[in-house]
Amino acid sequence: MAEPRPAGGDGVADPDGSGAGDDPDAGAGAEGGVGSGGGNEGNADPDPLLVWTLATFHVATLVALPVWLAHAVAPAAVGGLLGGLGTGPGVGVYLVLWAATWWSNRAWLREVDLADGSRAVAAGAKWGAPTGVIVLLAVLAVLAVQGLGLFVVAVGAVGAVVAALVGAVVGALSAALDVTLSRLAGSLVA
């Protein structure tokens, strides 16, 4: 009978020598840099803290950056737009954006490892597209409630394709940023 040995550097004993260890989360983040998912390809659930952190970072960036840029260009227009939206619908759209981003980040991290840059960016585009459509539908729902039904139908017909394309581009850019930051963090702790 073989001696139990540590599995994969995670410190978890491997009594049967299979390399699996006893810890279902063993290996998550153990290789490939900080928060890499540690070879999370397949259907394994990614680290919940990583999913939560990336979703929050992406949504904060997607909301704060455009508002800041628009405010720098036309402050009166941004104030009027945000004032006309109202707190309730604004929070609702934000929560839908966050939930959709959390869902897509979770699916994205199930599919790829952050250490695999090109696959991560391609998968980011794939999972960003439905997120763009979901956010468009949330905005259109708010507009429909405010009595703009015909406008909602017209925009929804063409907007879904545009939203999917924009979502794919934003997803790919976010994935590229995540891969870059993960590699930078990995180099700082190595």
Phi, psi torsion values for 7, nearest 5 degrees: -100, 120
Q: Which two tokens stand for residue 170?
A: 């934003």
Please give the pLDDT value at position 90.
81
Tokens encoding 32: 């490939």
Range 81-95 average pLDDT: 79
At residue 133, does pLDDT exceed 50? yes
Report the distance separating Cα 45 and Cα 110, nearest Å: 6
- In this structure, which long-range contacts are made by residues 52-60, counting pairs with CB atoms below 8 Å and at least 24 apart in sequence? 52/102, 54/105, 54/109, 54/178, 55/98, 55/101, 55/102, 55/105, 56/98, 58/101, 58/105, 58/174, 59/94, 59/97, 59/98, 59/101
Task: Please give the pLDDT value at position 180.
Answer: 93
Mean pLDDT of 112-133: 91
Residue 116: the pLDDT is 83
- Proportion of the chain above pLDDT 90, given as a percent: 35
pLDDT tens for 144-187 read 887 777 777 778 878 899 999 999 999 999 999 999 999 998 88
Encode pLDDT of 168-180 as tens digits: 999 999 999 999 9
Tokens 């702790």 belong to residue: 189
Q: What's this model's pTM, rounded to 2 decimal places?
A: 0.68
- In this prediction, residues 74-89 reach a mean pLDDT of 75
Q: How confident is the model at residue 72 (pLDDT cuts 50, 70, 90)?
A: confident
- Average pLDDT over the chain, rounded to whole? 77
Extract the tokens encoding 7: 């599995």
User: Residue 41: what pLDDT?
Assistant: 53
- pLDDT > 50? residue 59: yes
125 burial type by CB count under 10 A (0-12 exposed, 13-18 middle, 19+ buried): buried
